[in-house]
Structure 1
Amino acid sequence: MVQLVDSNLGSGTVDINQRTNSNHEANHSEQDKMLSTMKKELSKKELKEEVREKLKDIKDNLEITKDIRCGFGFIQGKILQKFATQEVFVLLYGILGATIQAGASYFSGTISTLEKRYRIPSRNMGVILTGNDIILALFGIPITYYAGRKHKPRWMCIGMLFIVAFCLLNTFPHVIYGSGKEALALTKEYEEDHYSSLQNATDESLCSKEGVECIKEGSLIPQAIFFVSQLMWGIGSPLYGFSFFIKMLGPVGGYCLAAWCLNMFISPELTPTIITKDPRWLGAWWLGWVIVAVIMAFFSFMIALFPKELPDRAVRKLLEDQTKDEVTKKKEEVEAQISWKDMKITFGRLLRNKILMCSTVGSLFYCFGYYPYWTYMPKYIEMQYKVSASKSSLITGVVGLVFTALGIISSGAFVSKVRPRARCLGGFNVFAGVVTILGIFSYTLLGCAEGDDFNAMIGRVNSSSFSAQKMTTCNADCNCDFSRYSPICSMDGTNMTYISPCHAGCRSSQILDDGSKVSV
């Protein structure tokens, strides 16, 4: 028995020792793996540090040639050369891209004011907005191809100068025609200057004056100027590309700038007698173009100072050339040559890419439906909900920023965590597009009761005559047929809107301290 027990104990001891040894071996193997991994990481870090030091030494001793020299003419030197880095270029590139998109959204935010000031029908404004697309369709591909093989920063600057010309050209109608007689008549300065002349005017001279034609289109000259400015925009656009994130930030700044400018009177030096909610209000739509042009011209000049090739890129290219054979170098030199034949081959490869073409066609239909909606959104809010042009631009910009940012952040987090397949992402894009369409159609269910009452009150309008119904008996003896269009809202809780104080039966008016006008 003793021997049996001893033998059993001996076998148990052997098993324990074997397990202990196996555990030690497993621990040693894990430690060895960890040590090898740490050694590899350290070797990689050391290699990266060695590469960085080597690149830095080559960069410090690199000869400053024409292609990597920062600046031009007398504007160059060692101090300026220090800013020829990728980080500085990306910063300026982002600011310039945001400014470009701000200009596009600023035009959208001031459309209603332009149409009102120069009596431009919306159909004509839609044609004007296609000017840049016409240039892009005709010359976008060759301009992009040719400029991409040359001095890119300089060509970008040239494109930006065309867009600066677009901004300044948009101010020409204001320089030529001024603020307009109708807008100037709504200022205190005009009332003071013309009060005495109105007192001395005879009935005959007043009756001989012609009224303002409200249904006739305005002059074609401002429309032609705006169309030519859009052509300038189209010439400069192919020479500059920008990321989606920058594209998101730009419109917000443009709409906020439009809100700030439209909140000022069209002639800032004068004192208006109406408030911004008055439909006759005209904001300083031209001021924003001057601001955008100055900012864009400054940063375009900064971009033009960059060399054709950054020094860091030149160093890496120098190291790559040392490892290439002569056959590879000659092949790259042949491929780098600019020719129409090479351009056809390049874009032929793109056209044969089925996924790229399907994505492009989908984006085309998206732009076809969504861009006009977003362009006229400030005008829609202004007309449908009876708010000022500045407020509608501010609402459009803020709402666009918040929900676009939420969409980008949430979708980016989802893709980074879940990592779905390309097919799933395509299906999600289709789902998001359907939700967008349903959201746009839901606007038809929304409205404003005041607008409905106003439409019922106006009566009928045709091409030859205009007649308005008399909604109450209080204006029966007021002879309001020739009263100037000046809509006012009732204060009795009925939410009625009248064409003018005369139609509401008012006999006197008073201007309050805040600039608002009350008729009694």
Structure 2
Amino acid sequence: MDIPDSRKDSSQYSTKQTKMRSSGKKKNKGINSLKIFVVALTFSFVCKTLAGIVMKSSITQIERRFGTTSSEAGLIDGSFEIGNLLMITLVSHFGTKSHIPRLIGTGCFIMGTGSILTALPHFFMGYYRYDSALNAKPLDNSTETYTPCSTDVSSSGHNRSSILVQSSCKNESGSFMWIYVILGNTLRGIGETPIAPLGITYIDNFAKEGQSTFYIGIIHSVTMVGPLIGYLLGSLCAKLYVDIGYIDLSTITIEPTDSRWVGAWWLGFLIAGILSIVSGVPFFFFPKHLKEKRRQSTGPTLLDGSSTNDNRDQKVIFRNPEKTKKPKGLAGFFYSLKCILSNKIYLIYLLSSTLTSCSFIGIITYMPKYLEQAFDISMSKSNLFLGTIVMPVFAVSVFLGGYISKKFKLTTFGILKLLIISRVSSSLFQALFYFLTCDDHLIAGLTVTYNGNAEETSQITPFSSCNSDCNCNANLWDPVCGDDGLTYMSPCLAGCKSLVGHGKDTVFYNCSCVEVNNFQLRKNSAHLGICSRKDDCSRIFIYYVILTSLVSILVGIGTSSSIILIFKFVEPDLKSLSIGLYTFVMRTVGGLLTPIYVGAMIDTACLKWDTSNCGNKGACRIYESVSFRSTAMSNQQTKTFSGEISF
């Protein structure tokens, strides 16, 4: 009788072993699937930041290509936030109850489609035409000789420009291709909506205890590759002429440092769009649930995971969410939103982060323009500077901040202190930027008089006695550098009578205004482009690079753990919505409004506007350095104030 019992026990033991092996395989499969999901989500994060940086690095190119002001360009840039705002809170709340991986995959596809749509206007618009006196040269086979300064009204560049206005104004006013840029950018914003809140929530739901923070840290660390690649790509595109492959580049008379230069802005959007679509493919193969959802603790949830008695005063205890029955549907959404808005600690953190975000977005959007105007650096080199110096230094400092938090086992309020220290110290160093700038260019009739005097502001006019016999167009911006060291807004305003050369090598001679100021040396020629500044801008730029690197380190140290603070400020079941609300406010105040109002402030510093064929104001050609610098500094004060209210 013992033998059958022994066989029965052996059979039961074998069955248990089989179940345990099966359970172990499922568990390992779930863990491996989560790791693959983290890799896929990381790639999608890289793609979305890549597309965002491509827009930031191309916004000045778009401004010039479509002839808009900086504030209008800011609206184009902010259209991304419009699309994001339409969906972010609803997706964050209702998306958690849906198939999260498929929603993320669909979002990546929409995001990529939006980037490609943004680039489409390039293929439907005509070739880019910039203001140039050489455009007025005869196009036929006549033997007429072109002279910049001519007393013959019938052959003057001004009248030729008027003929071009009459023939092309109607066509130009009928093309609203910038609408496709806004639509594409808005669509990209809609597509990006589910990636961050739902992806992080999915990881936090199915990761082991304590592992979600590790995975999220990896994602945000690796994501820094996106801005790095984005700026490098933006640098390459800005260096290439917008119509490359379609026109003879030897006929181009401007350099990448010229404010009329437009790079191949569309190329970056095509590459970013294709990568975004590819990044969404893996998400369609993930299940809705990797394994049984990790149970939330039935006891009080602590703000800090530490259980030492010394830190009890730093722990915030949430009420047991199971004791209160929450409504469902739309009513549940508003109830959850009310719970978050009644959390004072979360609101203080949200306000501080909003002000910091405004400062950061304003800087990152218009820094390439500022570097171009302040230090005579091309857009290509500006993007290269951001991509090879600022972003890597910032990424290392983010990692360093995480290491400090782990090494010293900082509590939640310890992380807050680190955050406030980094923000205040970085703002103090940023005040030094005010002293790192070059003087304005000496432009006759714009910043100085025709004799080079900058103090006689009442006598600064576009015309002078030296060009009174020339029939010049005062709206034309085609600067030339005279032998006298002054820049003239056009060869005609310099009084030049003849020219030699072709394309960028063109040299103008017999310039009456140059001869008046340089009569002792008897040199009266001028060449294309703006004259170099008198002060040593290259040396000042080196100081700027060092200071920027230092500020990036200080900012990055306090950034590493900021996203984790959101989880610790709210109840566990409100995590996704809290991130959604946080993103909503960042998008509204920082992403949408900041580029517009900062762009409007920059517009006030403009000295010379481009004028379209229809007589409308276009992009700004040159800014006043002091006013531009003051605008940047006033934007920094927002960041200083945000650091002071963090507590």
2:479 aligned with 1:487, yes or no?
Answer: yes
User: How many corresponding residue pairs?
Assistant: 420
2:334 aligned with 1:344, yes or no?
Answer: yes
2:230 aligned with 1:249, yes or no?
Answer: no
1:375 to 360, 365, 376: 365
2:241 to 237, 258, 265: 265
Q: Determine the structure 2 residue equivalent to 1:406.
A: 396
2:81 aligned with 1:133, yes or no?
Answer: yes
2:304 aligned with 1:356, yes or no?
Answer: no
8 Å contact kept, 1:457–1:469: no
Residues 84-127 of structure 1: CA deviation (Å, up to 9, x unaligned) = 72233222211221111111111111111111111111122223
Q: Return the alpha-carbon distance in structure 1 between the equivalents of residues 182 and 161 of structure 2.
A: 39
Q: Return the alpha-carbon distance in structure 1 between the equivalents of residues 45 and 226 of structure 2.
A: 7
User: Which of 92-101 and 265-274 deviates more?
Assistant: 265-274
Q: Return the alpha-carbon distance in structure 2 between the equivalents of residues 458 and 293 of structure 1.
A: 49
8 Å contact kept, 1:118–1:218: no
2:104 aligned with 1:156, yes or no?
Answer: yes
Q: Return the alpha-carbon distance in structure 2 between the equivalents of residues 491 and 117 of structure 1.
A: 32
2:83 aligned with 1:92, yes or no?
Answer: no
Q: Return the alpha-carbon distance in structure 1 between the equivalents of residues 491 and 477 of structure 2.
A: 9
What TM-score, normalized to structure 2? Answer: 0.56
Residue 288 of structure 2 aligns to a residue in which SS?
coil
2:397 aligned with 1:417, yes or no?
Answer: no
Residue 501 of structure 2 aligns to a residue in which SS?
strand
Q: Pick closer, same or farther for the CA change 1:110–1:425 going to 2, 3 Å.
A: same
| Structure with greater contact order relative to length (CA < 8 Å, sep ≥ 6) | 2
Amino acid corresponding to residue 265 of structure 1 in structure 2: Y
User: Which of 245-254 and 97-106 deviates more?
Assistant: 245-254
Q: Pick closer, same or farther for the CA change 1:277–1:271 going to 2, 3 Å.
A: farther
Q: Pick closer, same or farther for the CA change 1:197–1:302 going to 2, 3 Å.
A: farther
Amino acid corresponding to residue 486 of structure 1 in structure 2: D
Q: Return the alpha-carbon distance in structure 1 between the equivalents of residues 416 and 101 of structure 2.
A: 35
Residue 286 of structure 1 aligns to a residue in which SS?
helix
- Alpha-carbon offset, residue 52 of structure 1: 13
- Alpha-carbon offset, residue 137 of structure 1: 3.8
Amino acid corresponding to residue 141 of structure 1 in structure 2: T
Q: For 1:20-99, what aligned pairs fall within 5 Å after superposition? A: 57-58=22-23, 85-99=33-47
8 Å contact kept, 1:252–1:397: yes
1:445 to 435, 441, 449: 435
8 Å contact kept, 2:440–2:447: no
2:387 to 382, 391, 397: 397
Amino acid corresponding to residue 434 of structure 1 in structure 2: V
Q: Return the alpha-carbon distance in structure 2 between the equivalents of residues 52 and 120 of structure 1.
A: 72
Residue 196 of structure 1 aligns to a residue in which SS?
coil
User: Which of 95-104 and 131-140 deviates more?
Assistant: 131-140
2:53 aligned with 1:105, yes or no?
Answer: yes
Q: Pick closer, same or farther for the CA change 1:303–1:183 going to 2, 3 Å.
A: farther
Residue 111 of structure 1 aligns to a residue in which SS?
helix
Q: Determine the structure 2 residue equivalent to 1:22.
A: none
Amino acid corresponding to residue 356 of structure 2 in structure 1: Y
Q: Return the alpha-carbon distance in structure 1 between the equivalents of residues 84 and 26 of structure 2.
A: 43
User: Which of 371-380 and 498-507 deviates more?
Assistant: 498-507
2:447 to 456, 472, 480: 456
Q: Determine the structure 1 residue equivalent to 2:163.
A: 209
Residue 508 of structure 1 aligns to a residue in which SS?
strand
Q: Return the alpha-carbon distance in structure 2 between the equivalents of residues 173 and 121 of structure 1.
A: 19
Amino acid corresponding to residue 117 of structure 2 in structure 1: L
8 Å contact kept, 2:234–2:380: yes
- Alpha-carbon offset, residue 284 of structure 1: 0.8
1:282 to 240, 257, 262: 262
Q: Return the alpha-carbon distance in structure 1 between the equivalents of residues 449 and 49 of structure 2.
A: 40
Q: Determine the structure 1 residue equivalent to 2:141.
A: 196
- Alpha-carbon offset, residue 152 of structure 1: 1.1
Q: Return the alpha-carbon distance in structure 1 between the equivalents of residues 351 and 363 of structure 2.
A: 19
Q: Determine the structure 1 residue equivalent to 2:522.
A: none
Amino acid corresponding to residue 94 of structure 1 in structure 2: T
Q: Determine the structure 1 residue equivalent to 2:422.
A: 432
**CA RMSD after TM alignment:** 4.4
Q: Return the alpha-carbon distance in structure 2 between the equivalents of residues 420 and 276 of structure 1.
A: 48
8 Å contact kept, 2:501–2:507: yes
- Gaps (5+ residues) in structure 2? 1-15, 147-153, 201-218, 296-320, 455-459, 509-524, 526-647
Q: Return the alpha-carbon distance in structure 2 between the equivalents of residues 416 and 219 of structure 1.
A: 59
Residue 486 of structure 1 aligns to a residue in which SS?
coil
Q: Return the alpha-carbon distance in structure 1 between the equivalents of residues 161 and 487 of structure 2.
A: 29
- Alpha-carbon offset, residue 289 of structure 1: 0.8
- Alpha-carbon offset, residue 340 of structure 1: 2.3
Residue 241 of structure 2 aligns to a residue in which SS?
coil
Q: For 1:267-346, what aligned pairs fall within 5 Å after superposition? A: 267-269=243-245, 270-272=247-249, 273=252, 274-310=254-290, 313=291, 339-346=329-336
